[in-house]
Amino acid sequence: MCVLWHICSVQDEGDVLAEVRAWFLAQVGELWPVALGSLSLRRSPCVRKNCHACATGEKHASYVLYVRRGGKRTGLYVPDELVPQMRAALLYGRKLEAVMMEVGVRVLEALRDARGKRRAGG
């Protein structure tokens, strides 16, 4: 009898979480492409001798995507024409993080509600 009660309670939790899962999937459905990190414009010197831009201190501008890989910060070159797409991906990444925070709260609330209903016998 206890085994049947446990199986039913797990199924109830799955049903409760199904609503949260559907909400989550609806929220993230449009968030693509997605990325985490930061996009920076850097100015650095080149290797050419007698470069006018480097000699005047202007240097050469390029975009870099900074990410973490294996716990280490890494910079990846981003061609100018890909900057708008990367900005959008980073924005979607921040939105995804916010949705993940909210879904954590909703999962906890759903599980608490299911637990309370089980304890109340209903």
Q: What's the pLDDT tens digit per position in 39-87?
A: 999 988 888 888 888 888 888 889 999 999 999 999 999 999 999 999 9
Which among 26, 119, 37 is positioned nearest to 75, based on CA atoms? 37
Q: Is the pLDDT of residue 104 over 60?
A: yes
How large is the C-alpha radius of gyration of the chain?
25
Instruction: Tell me the pLDDT band of 115, cut-offs 50, 70 and 90.
Output: confident
Q: Is the pLDDT of residue 121 over 80?
A: no
Ramachandran angles phi, psi of 109, nearest 5°: -60, -40
Distance CA 38, CA 31 (A): 17
Asked if 93 and 34 touch (Cβ cutoff 8 Å), the reply is: yes
- Cis peptide before 84, with omega less than 30 degrees from 0? no
Question: 72 vs 121, which has greater pLDDT?
Answer: 72
What residues does 39 pair with on adjacent strands? 65
Q: Give the 3-state secondary structure of residue 100.
A: helix
Asked if 12 and 51 touch (Cβ cutoff 8 Å), the reply is: no
**Domain definitions of the chain by residue range:** 2-120
